[in-house]
Structure 1
Amino acid sequence: MWPAGNGHFCETVLSYSKLVSELEQMVKKMVFESYDAEKYYDSHIQSTTYLLRLIKYRGPQKNETCIGTSCHTDKSFITILHQNEVCGLEIQTKDGEWICFKPSPSSYVVMAGDALLAWSNGRIHSPKHRVIMNGNKARYSIGLFAYHRGIIEIPEELADEEHPLQFKPFNHYGLLHFYFTNKAGQTESTAKAYCGV
């Protein structure tokens, strides 16, 4: 993973990822319980894998606005972001309004990904977000992305007359492959294009 000689750094990153994965599991448990789907929690956790990304966005040059990342939704089940005090993360509300997240060193952003949108039968919103850099400071962030090995099924508790089934069972890695091979095209929702009913 890292060149020789960075053992302490690797241990620190591993310890950090374990702690943040515990936070992700706590959030996931609250979500499952709030939808009376806690009986699925243990098997879901056993099938969860994590990706930790360390990201640096350079500060833009003078009179330049730098797009760190373009508008997108995450393809994860849950994403947890931790960043330094440099602003840049913008999240789009359901109403289409962009809000700028102003971080503190102790704050985390928890976002639902497209897989959670599908698992919840569309009840949980997967927000569009982007990074726009202004000023001259670099922005550092750490993102923990939770993925599910195997097939994700929409719990029967989340489909009823008021909430008809919107998504078929799907392979989470298949969703990622669908997205990264550009089969999703310019669709509004990768999840709906991949596994929508």
Structure 2
Amino acid sequence: MAHTDKNTVTILGQNDVQGLEIQPKEDNNTWVPVVIPEGAFVAIVGDALKAWSNGRLHSVRHRVVLRGEKERYSWGSFLMPKDGSRVQAPEEFVDKDHPPLYRGFTYADFLSYFVSTLKDDALDVFAGLPDVVDDRDQLAVN
């Protein structure tokens, strides 16, 4: 199932069977294969890090597609904020050219919201600042 990760960073590794695909943010109809060399891993930015970076880092929508008969094995390490800590963009990431995109929140509250709704756009709905989210939507249309 295609999704963005809700945590801060996911580190993925796999055997020699490929299958990870990402969706460019400019094109919701295209999937791009990610070739992970044997013995390497990939780091994926999650929604919590996107919020903390005030949108400067993007959480990528991704999925796994299996083709052929060979088994694919993968492992993941999921980094998340310390329990009870607040996710909020530092002052250095907010200025007149980069207005705040998200209100501060605790990761536990965000995760609870996501689990209760399973909304793909959980970050924008839960913590997005309405005027900014509307402006981003308008920019994407133009």
TM-score (norm 2): 0.83
Q: Which residue of 2 aligns with 1:158?
A: 93
Structure with bigger helix share is 1
Q: What residue is the counterpart of 2:109 in the other structure?
A: 174
Deviation (angstroms), 1:95: 2.4
Distance in structure 1 (CA, Å) of the matches to 2:113 and 2:31: 27
**How many angstroms does 1:102 deviate by?**
2.0
Tell me if 1:71 matches 2:6: no
Partner of 1:195: 127
CA distance in 2, matches of 1:78, 1:120: 12
Percent identical among aligned pairs is 39
Please state whether the residue corresponding to 1:116 is helix, strand or coil: helix
Question: Hey, what's the Cα distance between the residues in 2 that align with 1:87 and 1:169?
Answer: 37
Equivalent-residue separation in structure 1 for 2:34 and 2:16 (angstroms)? 10
Asked if 2 retains the 8 angstrom alpha-carbon contact of 1:90 and 1:132, the reply is: yes
Contact 1:84 1:103 (C-alpha < 8 Å) held by counterparts: no
| 2:48 is the counterpart of 1:134 | no
Q: Give the 3-state SS of the residue equivalent to 2:125 in structure 1.
A: helix
Match for residue 81 of structure 2?
148
Q: Which residue of 2 aligns with 1:100?
A: 33
Q: 1:166: how far off?
A: 0.8
Aligned-pair CA distance for 1:93: 1.7
State the SS of the aligned residue for 1:166.
Answer: coil
3-state DSSP of counterpart to 1:174: helix
Unaligned runs of 5+ in 1: 1-69
Please identify, of 173-182 and 130-139, the stretch whose mean Cα deviation from structure 2 is larger.
Answer: 173-182
RMSD after superposition: 1.3
Q: How many Å separate the matches in 2 of 1:106 and 1:174?
A: 36
TM-score by length of 1: 0.60
Secondary structure at the counterpart of residue 43 of structure 2: strand
Unaligned stretches of 5+ in structure 2? 130-142
- Per the alignment, residue 32 of structure 1 pairs with none
Shift of 1:175: 1.3
Q: Which has the larger radius of gyration?
A: 1
CA displacement, residues 25-65 of structure 1 (integer Å, 9 cap, x when unaligned): xxxxxxxxxxxxxxxxxxxxxxxxxxxxxxxxxxxxxxxxx
Question: Paired residue for 1:80?
Answer: 11
Tell me the equivalent position of 1:89: 20
Which one-letter code corresponds to 1:193 in the other structure? Answer: V
CA contact (8 A) 1:85 1:102 kept: no
